[in-house]
Amino acid sequence: PKKGALVQCRVQSYQTPTEVCVAVFAKGAIKDASVVRIQETSLNMELVLSDDTRFERSWQLPYRINVADSKHT
């Protein structure tokens, strides 16, 4: 969804052998316009924000994850 200027957002993330948790503090994220891609060894996030800016970030995961059991909210 490339749109608007890139901005920085506060991020907290960790991974255990069984769980990945990522929290992005992005005010005004538009869920229907944003994309989260979950893969076995990576996580990619492209958030479109209501002020016509965007946040992008990718993570390489040290442990493989089960994509079928993964979700985001």
pLDDT higher than 70, residue 36:
yes
Distance CA 33, CA 21 (A): 22
Distance CA 56, CA 29 (A): 12
Distance CA 28, CA 39 (A): 26
Q: Residues 1-33: pLDDT tens digits?
A: 566 899 999 999 999 988 899 999 999 999 999
2 φ/ψ angles, rounded to the nearest 5 degrees: -45, 115
State which amino acid sits at residue 7.
V
Q: Residues 44-56: pLDDT tens digits?
A: 999 999 999 999 9
Mean pLDDT across 51-68 = 94
